[in-house]
Chain A
Amino acid sequence: IAGITQAPTSQILAAGRRMTLRCTQDMRHNAMYWYRQDLGLGLRLIHYSNTAGTTGKGEVPDGYSVSRANTDDFPLTLASAVPSQTSVYFCASSDSGLDGGELFFGEGSRLTVL
């Protein structure tokens, strides 16, 4: 079934450790996104990528980095995790046509930083 695959689904991490959340899509969408979802704050955009080789900052980029080496993969890295990065992380993708379009989401990665 076509869609977005995220890994891991859940992770507990010690503060200060490095962590990479993986995201792969098989829909050949040009654009990809990382959001975090926190109770009472909703979904907030961390980083996005319009096409392979390009990335952009969203609303809450500090402490996170991304790369887009190819169309299908968009990993999110926390270089040195802090407790405030405890959240549920969602990867999404969309066509990047000028008419806009819906985003398709993965099932999420729940990260706890202690």
Chain B
Amino acid sequence: EDQVTQSPEALRLQEGESSSLNCSYTVSGLRGLFWYRQDPGKGPEFLFTLYSAGEEKEKERLKATLTKKESFLHITAPKPEDSATYLCAVQGYTRDGNNRLAFGKGNQVVVIP
């Protein structure tokens, strides 16, 4: 069974204070590791897909990295609008080829002005 553990559960940051979110995973054959952003009352919004160890992707103040056992989401000089819950998910190989994702419980980030 695919498993995803995210830490810390909650994080309060001062505006401009960089930090990192951790996602550790176990999966029987990794097809992809995904990061989503979720705002209160909204559906998850896709951020990144990482496919192999050593891969990195960036979008504005966010940078995602991947190793064989974990992924990090680095938030550089965050702004209040970066406040959200960040969800990590893994997609493993399945017998029927389905793309279903197994999610972690999320990292709730609050950026204080």
Which A residues form the contact surface with B (CB < 8 A)?
Answer: 4, 31, 33, 35, 40-45, 48, 50, 56, 58, 90, 92, 94-96, 98-108
Contact = CB atoms under 8 A, between A and B. Distances in A.
23 contacts: A31-B98, A35-B103, A42-B104, A42-B105, A42-B106, A43-B89, A43-B103, A45-B102, A50-B96, A50-B98, A56-B96, A58-B100, A90-B44, A96-B97, A99-B31, A100-B49, A101-B99, A102-B46, A103-B34, A103-B99, A105-B36, A105-B45, A108-B41
Given A42-B106, A43-B87, A90 B99 contact: no
B113 interface: no
Given A98-B97, A101-B99, A103-B99, A108 B105 contact: no
Interface in B54-78: none
Interface residues of B, number: 25
Interface in B27-59: 31-32, 34, 36, 41-46, 49
A99 B32 CA distance: 9
